[in-house]
Amino acid sequence: MMTASIELHRPGWPGRLEEALASGAAIVLAARGAAEEPPVTGDAVEALLRHPWPVLGVVAGRVGSRASPLFLACDGLSWCRGGVLELRPEGRGEATLLAWRLGAAGAARCWFGGGRLTPAVARSSAWIRVTRSGYAEALEQTLHAFEGFSPTALSLLRELLIHQHGLATGPALALERRAFSLLFASGEPLEGIGAFLERRPPRFAE
């Protein structure tokens, strides 16, 4: 699967992010400090949330409020030791995303803790995976996280993560039934089973 790595502490990342969004690649956002260049816009966050492929993040060190909204739009975060996301208290979009990721109680702990998101604040959430690896190793591990995964399954999972939020049980299960049917219609589950039985890597179409 095609993946794009965007390091927000390096100059020129907005252009690379725009290219990645247009390419249809799975995206890994990474930062080990304050983001370079102008603050993130709401349009960039919206584009990530609507991206059909999964978006993962790697947080190392203290990431300022310029970049934090993008990380809240990620489907999951790998958190290196010392990682902190600084949030803007007046940011309504950040408040909504934080409540989505952590629930109302977790979001409240974050805001009452000074607007800083740490693994300790989000310890009850499966959204954050704390790692003892350094930044470079965590980034490499995250880039390889997509290898061997069914592209259709990842795309449908991303769709479910977005559209199931806040739904009642009945409509949510209907979405899951639809995703299950689409996945098996793609033929990729049979390739995955065949690869397992033959002890080889799966060969999914891009």
Mean pLDDT, each 10-residue run in order, the chain (206 residues):
85 89 87 76 82 85 84 86 78 75 82 81 76 84 72 77 74 90 89 89 77
Q: Please give the pLDDT value at position 89.
A: 62
pLDDT of residue 76: 83
Q: Is residue 204 part of a domain?
A: no
Tell me whether residue 203 is in a domain: no
Which pLDDT score is estimated for 72? 87
Q: Give the per-residue pLDDT at 178.
A: 92
Place of tokens 């794009």: 4
Q: What pLDDT score was predicted for residue 90? A: 60
Task: Please indicate, yes or no, if residue 206 is contained in any of the structural domains.
Answer: no
DSSP E strand boundaries for 64-184: 76-79, 84-86, 116-117, 128-130
Number of domains in the chain: 2
**Shared-domain flag, residues 95 and 155:** no
Closest by CA to 43, choosing from 55, 51, 53, 33, is 51
pLDDT of residue 177: 92
Q: Which of 115, 130, 146 is where one domain is finished?
A: 146
Instruction: Give pLDDT, residue 6.
Output: 92
Q: What is the CATH number of the domain that holds 131?
A: 3.90.226.10
Q: Which domain holds residue 170?
A: 151-198
Q: Which of 102, 125, 146 is the last residue of a domain?
A: 146
Residue by residue, DSSP assigns 12-25 as THHHHHHHHHHHT-
The rounded radius of gyration (Å) of the Cα atoms in the chain is 18
Whether 72 and 117 map to the same domain: the answer is: yes
Q: What pTM, to 2 d.p., does this model score?
A: 0.74
Q: Are residues 109 and 155 in the same domain?
A: no
- Report the phi/psi class of residue 130: left, alpha or beta, with left for phi > 0 and alpha for psi in -120 to 50: beta
